[in-house]
């Protein structure tokens, strides 16, 4: 029977550690994707149910106008719900991550983009491999 050297055993253990780490990484990615899909399905089903029922599930607050409405702003400035030019948000998000890992809220504060838009963009960028999940938030790949 051949004797195994300590260095051979250590090398095998290190190789197995790398395999297990990769499997855990793959599992985490699948787990994250499953949660995103479940959330999307839940939102979709809620929207469909509301349409089928003929009502919106969210109760609307009752408001009474006590003063005359403010005159409409006719300035050429962009409205609050205007879309950014294609690729502009991505460029701002990646620039914000140049300084190191950040959460969606931190990126939103730094860029002025809504946190929901940041979250959706980060998910797409992560799927494309342009950003990676960090211990806290997202980071650029190394």
Q: Please compute, for residue 88, the number of CA atoms within 13 A of its CA located in the half-sphere on the CB side.
A: 8
pLDDT at 21 over 70: yes
Contact 138, 126 (CB under 8 A): yes
Q: What is the pLDDT of residues 59-96, one digit of tens each?
A: 556 666 556 666 665 555 455 567 778 889 999 999 99
Contact 109, 138 (CB under 8 A): no
Q: How far apart are CA 132 and CA 138, in angstroms?
A: 6
Helical segments of the chain, H only:
6-53, 88-97, 104-111, 115-127
- What average pLDDT does the segment 96-109 reach? 92
Range in 17-21, 84-88, 89-93, 104-108 the model is least confident about: 84-88
pTM above 0.85, yes or no: no
pLDDT computed for residue 70 by the predictor: 62
Q: Dihedral angle at the C-alpha atoms of 93, 98, 104, 110, nearest 10 degrees?
A: -80
């Amino acid at each position: 029977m051949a004797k195994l050297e300590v260095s051979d055993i250590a090398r095998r253990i290190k190789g197995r550690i790398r395999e297990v780490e990769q499997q855990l990484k793959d599992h985490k990615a699948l787990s994250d994707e499953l949660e995103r899909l479940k959330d999307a399905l839940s939102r979709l089903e809620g929207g469909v149910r509301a349409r089928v029922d003929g009502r919106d599930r969210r109760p609307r607050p009752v408001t009474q106008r006590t003063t005359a409405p403010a005159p409409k702003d006719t300035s050429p400035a962009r409205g609050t719900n205007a879309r950014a030019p294609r690729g502009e948000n991505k460029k701002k998000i990646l620039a914000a991550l140049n300084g190191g890992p950040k959460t969606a809220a931190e990126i939103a504060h730094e860029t002025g983009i809504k946190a929901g838009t940041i979250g959706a963009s980060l998910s797409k960028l992560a799927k494309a491999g342009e950003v990676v999940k960090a211990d806290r938030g997202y980071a650029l790949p190394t």
